Amino acid sequence: MKIEKAITELQLYRANSFIEKGCQGNPAGVCLLPQAGDDDFYCRVAVKMNLPETAFLVQEGEVFQLRWFTRGGSEVDLCGHATLASAFILCNKGYVKAGDEIRFQSKSGSLTAQSDGDFITLGFPREKITEVSQCEHDFREYFGFAPLYTGRTRFDYFLVTDTADTVKNLAPDFKNLKKIKTRGIIITAKSESREYDFISRFFAPAIGIAEDPVTGSAHCALGPYWSAILKKDSLTGYQASQEGGVVKVKVLKDSVQLGGRVQEVPLSNEIKQAILSR
């Protein structure tokens, strides 16, 4: 990767990731920084952006240091949709040549991205799911269904339901969900539509996100799980939130590729100034 131009001043953007026809995707903030700021600054900007996540990027040589913070001011270890938005902004604003591989360094290690117009492909870690035979939480009470399978990733609970309609019609008990100490809860089922292989929803009230519109990092586990069930390596996932989003997944031996479309949502100078002011 060759850096086309350096980040010489703070730049603030917004983009929607994993959009498709009929799907609004997931909004993310992207903050480009000429040098690293402190955590208080990151938290303050993320809270004022008031989006599910805001990504903060600092260029170091040919690598971008990348961190993510939620609208509640919590830092997360991995975020797909804000990374997708970051790669799109870097290419669209001329910091990186379109089509070149972009390299990020994050709390989850090295990540990559590559653009093809408004379609971005991420190289992310493949997440392992461990079955939970005896769970301390009553998910029937929390969601109104008994999971066919309960597992854990390093971040989240992973619940499999019987039908896509069960996923679509969930009525979460957010008061109890806030007690769960994992980052969030992934709920999934096989799709009944020919357009998609599986559907999912993602809830993370413990970190200030009641329901995430589209969760790229959840597909690091969803992809391998459904790949083993459906016996295919390339899959299409639909996240059935109110906004909706589509994630293309290719499962590799030790990693996954996540793909989706991105659209910038312009921010006025007045809004930028209000967000960056103390």
Q: Which positions are annotated as active-site residues?
A: 53
If phi > 0 it is left, if psi is from -120 to 50 it is alpha, else beta; for residue 254 that is alpha
For 28-63, give the DSSP string.
EEEEEESS---HHHHHHHHHHHTSSEEEEEEEETTE
Give Cα separations from 167 to 35, 146, 188, 240, 273 (angstroms). Answer: 43, 12, 6, 8, 40
The CA distance from 110 to 121, in Å, is: 15
Tokens of 21: 């026809």
Give Cα separations from 200 to 56, 91, 192, 241 (angstroms). Answer: 27, 29, 12, 8
Torsion of CA 25, 29, 34, 39, to 10 degrees: -130
Q: How would you label 168-196 residue by residue, b for 16+ Cβ within 10 Å and e otherwise?
A: eebebeeeebeebebbbbbbbbbbeeeeb
